Amino acid sequence: MICGIGLDIVERDRMLQKIADQRFVARILVPEEQKIFNQLSPKRKTEFLAGRFSAKEAYAKAKGTGIGASLSFQDICIIDDPAGKPVLTSRLDHGEYTHVSITHTRESAAAVVVIESLSGQSAY
């Protein structure tokens, strides 16, 4: 049963301006994501940060909480599986499977998240 859908888009220029701000990067990316981020070329860093930012915002929308008191960027981790598919995990997962898709253009990054209850019951 689908219990949440979220969509977000972010301008890559916005992330390009923030890429050198280590405090901002550390606020958005968890340590596992930061390790990957630090190994990327400058162009890929912008794509990676924008994509993760957008996917985490989309997840917060799908959960219905937004980013704030009950959910932070640090509560969400997105790491690619061996085939390159992004896999999202969160401390708010309660018997759910989260589907995530991230895409990029020259100007923007976007993500869609679908939360599926594995028990057939809504988590809300």
pTM, two decimals, is 0.91
Q: 96 a known binding residue?
A: no
Both structure tokens of 15: 């992330």
Which active-site residues does the annotation give? 61, 104
How do strand 2-11 and strand 108-117 relate by DSSP bridges? Answer: antiparallel
Q: What pLDDT does residue 122 have?
A: 53
User: What residues form DSSP beta bridges with 90?
Assistant: 76
**Contact (Cβ atoms closer than 8 angstroms) between residue 69 and residue 61:** no
Q: 8 a known binding residue?
A: yes
Q: Percent of the chain having pLDDT more than 70?
A: 96
Q: What's the chain's average pLDDT?
A: 91
Burial class (CB in 10 A: 0-12, 13-18, 19+), 42: exposed
- pLDDT (tens digit per residue) in 47-97: 999 999 999 999 999 999 889 888 999 999 999 999 999 999 998 777 788
Q: What pLDDT does residue 121 have?
A: 57
